[in-house]
Structure 1
Amino acid sequence: MDRYLYDENDAIKNPWEKGIPYLTPVFFNDEVLIHFFKLKRFSCEFASETYGFIKFDGGYIPFGINPNKKVIMWYGDIKKFANDDIHNKLISENVESDHDLRSEFYTAQINAEFTDVIKEVNIFQLIDKINELTSKNYGFKLYNMDQLTVNSILEKVSRYKQIMYDNEDDFKRNISELNEYLIESVSKNNLKSFFDKTGIPYDSNGGSLKLLETYMNKVIMDDKNHISPLYCLYDFRIWADHTGCTEKYNYSVSRLGLSDDSSYFKIYYKLIDDLIKFYEYFYYFLIK
């Protein structure tokens, strides 16, 4: 563990601790997060542009990003990786302290001011991993999306961090945007080429969602309709963009298991939770 660069003068010390204090900040290039984006055993959750969690089987550790784009972790937390293959990757990104701890990470960790994670960002990370796996397993990217970078993730964190007020305009705006990312960005051409090569029958006039459903049914053999939340999203978008489509809104609310009088806030986050479950199901199938 002593191979890490750190400055004990940065530490938050407790008089009863011996050796290097647990709360000694260790600094890294921001690219260190890419390792956790990509590795199957890990995921990153963000509560803000400067605060998040690295999750893995059996636990998680918090991290921060300071104004100089340096990632900060506590020395005591990093020790959890001492016998792990991620250890050398961390060391390769370790840099000298710049002594700047300003971040929501620091505020939350020291002052116990906690923030909920931004769930939408989890969806984009899952899609990024799905794209890598469909490329590896089947030779094509499922989504027409660029590979995630730290900057692109932080842009999405900033975008979705905003509080969604419980009104129709905010709901419609977010629904339309997610529809563009999660449905319209599905690569129809790649899916059609894949179906042609493998002899899987499909509707040549079908849109992105119908083609994705064919993939789920014929390749993943999903017989439990895990794709349902995407159809809810699609119908919400139809309602948002056209008049006279209230029945689509009501049907989608019902499919989410909610009552007609549910708030937009409740509907939106139930949809997000169900979308995450869909993409997790998809991802874990691909890594089997």
Structure 2
Amino acid sequence: MPFTFLFAEVDVTSPFPQYAYLGFDYDPLDYYFIPGLRRPWNDGYLTPVFFERGVLLYYNNHPDYSVKLTSFSSGNIYHQGKPMFSWGFGLNRGGLLFMWLGDLAEDFTAEKERDRKRFLASNVASDHDLVSKFYRSQLPQTPEEAFQESDNEVKVFDLKNQFDERIRRDFGLEISKIDIDRLTDYYRPPILEDRDQIFNAYLSLTKYLLETLQTENLKKALIARGVLESALKGLGSLKLLELFVKTVLGLPGEKTIMTPLYVLYDLRILQGHLAIDSFAAKYDSCKDRLQADRNLSDLSFFQVVVQALIQCFTTLLGYPVPQTMGSG
């Protein structure tokens, strides 16, 4: 029966009949109680509909689809490079995916009936939590909320590209073998609290951030600044980058700066040894070095690692302006 909300009659026994054909379960009270959702000119459009996050697995592993998480709490699905949803989706603090009821009506056209049924099978009851970058960007209260920066791997890739470009501009030096934008088209973010998914993501991040380094160019730049060639023998890409940061870029405290990259490399090594007896101790060591709680879940620690990488490349990108330009 109807109830009174702000002196208006709301019939919750037959909410938003224009969307009934979709078949989704939702709580109409969310629309009336959660700030910013009511739209008298388009009643019910911004009603959140919730889904199990696992629905993304199909698309993340299908060759014709990809899942792009623009932050830890927002993203979209792409089909052959084109967005599947006009406005994407949110990921709330409880790990549920949510979208607006009106958007679902517009995006699930007849051609996407299979996708609608797939989402319908993953539809769950509302937990009434919309806290996410998606929610704040869709209903912004400030310009900063409307144009939010990413807080996940997308930000890492962007900063890495900016760093490579600045080195190219300041020193005429190519330090990466390939534009990381091309590689990230194939990057598969971890979707669930699943150790294999998460450690495979560490493997991919290591490939993109470290294994693409032009070690020979780094060596040439170091030798040009007085480092003996004999001192560079046997050094891998990460050690060479660390020496480059200290000798060429002149950044102080380089070990602290580089710690996230060393932790990432060690996690990549652990990726191939998930079942060994020493795994737990080595994994704890990685958490300790980033000052993270050892009891964090794998997915929560993954977010810590990514945040640390963002800080790492932000610091690297801010190196002092060199007094002399060119490759030396």
TM-score, structure 1 normalization: 0.57
Query: Displacement of 1:283 after TM fit?
Result: 1.1
Q: Could you report, residue by residue, the CA deviation over 1:246-277 in whole angstroms, capped at 9, with x for unpaired residues?
A: 23322111011123222101111000000000
- The corresponding residue for 1:163 is 191
Q: 1:13-92 to 2 correspondence within 5 Å?
A: 47-49=74-76
Matched, 1:183 2:214: no
Structure 1 stretches of 4+ moved >4 Å: 67-70, 110-118, 152-156
Rounded to whole Å, the distance in 1 between the matches of 2:244 and 2:277 is 32
Rounded to whole Å, the distance in 1 between the matches of 2:203 and 2:302 is 12
Q: Considering only aligned residues, what root-mean-square deviation do their CA atoms show, in Å?
A: 3.7
1:281 aligned counterpart, secondary structure: helix
Rounded to whole Å, the distance in 2 between the matches of 1:186 and 1:68 is 27
Q: Could you report, residue by residue, the CA deviation over 1:33-58 in whole angstroms, capped at 9, with x for unpaired residues?
A: xxxxxxxxxxxx664348xxxxxxxx
Rounded to whole Å, the distance in 2 between the matches of 1:130 and 1:251 is 28
Query: Cα gap change, 1:176/1:153 in structure 2, threshold over 3 Å: closer, same or farther?
Result: closer
Query: Cα gap change, 1:223/1:154 in structure 2, threshold over 3 Å: closer, same or farther?
Result: same
2:232 aligned counterpart, secondary structure: coil
Query: Displacement of 1:203 after TM fit?
Result: 2.4
1:184 aligned counterpart, secondary structure: coil
The answer on whether the counterparts of 1:229 and 1:274 sit within 8 Å (CA) in structure 2 is: yes
Query: Cα gap change, 1:127/1:103 in structure 2, threshold over 3 Å: closer, same or farther?
Result: same
Query: Cα gap change, 1:244/1:144 in structure 2, threshold over 3 Å: closer, same or farther?
Result: farther
- The corresponding residue for 2:288 is 254
Rounded to whole Å, the distance in 1 between the matches of 2:266 and 2:132 is 35
2:191 aligned counterpart, secondary structure: coil
Q: What amino acid maps onto 1:240 in structure 2?
A: Q
- List runs of 5+ in structure 1 lacking aligned partners: 1-13, 15-44, 51-64, 71-100
Query: Cα gap change, 1:164/1:145 in structure 2, threshold over 3 Å: closer, same or farther?
Result: farther
Matched, 1:195 2:226: no
- The corresponding residue for 2:116 is none
Q: What amino acid maps onto 1:176 in structure 2?
A: L
Rounded to whole Å, the distance in 2 between the matches of 1:205 and 1:176 is 22
Rounded to whole Å, the distance in 2 between the matches of 1:127 and 1:195 is 20
- The corresponding residue for 1:233 is 264
The answer on whether the counterparts of 2:157 and 2:180 sit within 8 Å (CA) in structure 1 is: no
Q: What amino acid maps onto 2:301 in structure 1?
A: I
Matched, 1:271 2:305: yes
Query: Displacement of 1:119 after TM fit?
Result: 1.2
- List runs of 5+ in structure 2 lacking aligned partners: 1-38, 40-69, 90-98, 104-129, 135-149, 323-328
Rounded to whole Å, the distance in 2 between the matches of 1:172 and 1:147 is 20
Q: Could you report, residue by residue, the CA deviation over 1:14-42 in whole angstroms, capped at 9, with x for unpaired residues?
A: 9xxxxxxxxxxxxxxxxxxxxxxxxxxxx
Rounded to whole Å, the distance in 2 between the matches of 1:68 and 1:138 is 35
Rounded to whole Å, the distance in 1 between the matches of 2:269 and 2:249 is 27
Q: What amino acid maps onto 1:128 in structure 2?
A: N
- The corresponding residue for 2:319 is 285
1:181 aligned counterpart, secondary structure: helix
Out of 141, 155, 169, the position equivalent to 1:122 is 155
The answer on whether the counterparts of 2:180 and 2:208 sit within 8 Å (CA) in structure 1 is: no
Rounded to whole Å, the distance in 1 between the matches of 2:88 and 2:271 is 35
Q: 1:201-220 to 2 correspondence within 5 Å?
A: 201=228, 202-220=231-249
Rounded to whole Å, the distance in 1 between the matches of 2:86 and 2:234 is 53
Rounded to whole Å, the distance in 2 between the matches of 1:169 and 1:227 is 25
Out of 86, 89, 94, the position equivalent to 1:102 is 86
Q: How many residues align?
A: 198
The answer on whether the counterparts of 2:264 and 2:305 sit within 8 Å (CA) in structure 1 is: yes
Q: What amino acid maps onto 2:269 in structure 1?
A: I
Q: What amino acid maps onto 2:259 in structure 1?
A: S
Rounded to whole Å, the distance in 1 between the matches of 2:312 and 2:247 is 16
Query: Cα gap change, 1:102/1:144 in structure 2, threshold over 3 Å: closer, same or farther?
Result: same
The answer on whether the counterparts of 2:219 and 2:232 sit within 8 Å (CA) in structure 1 is: no
TM-score, structure 2 normalization: 0.51
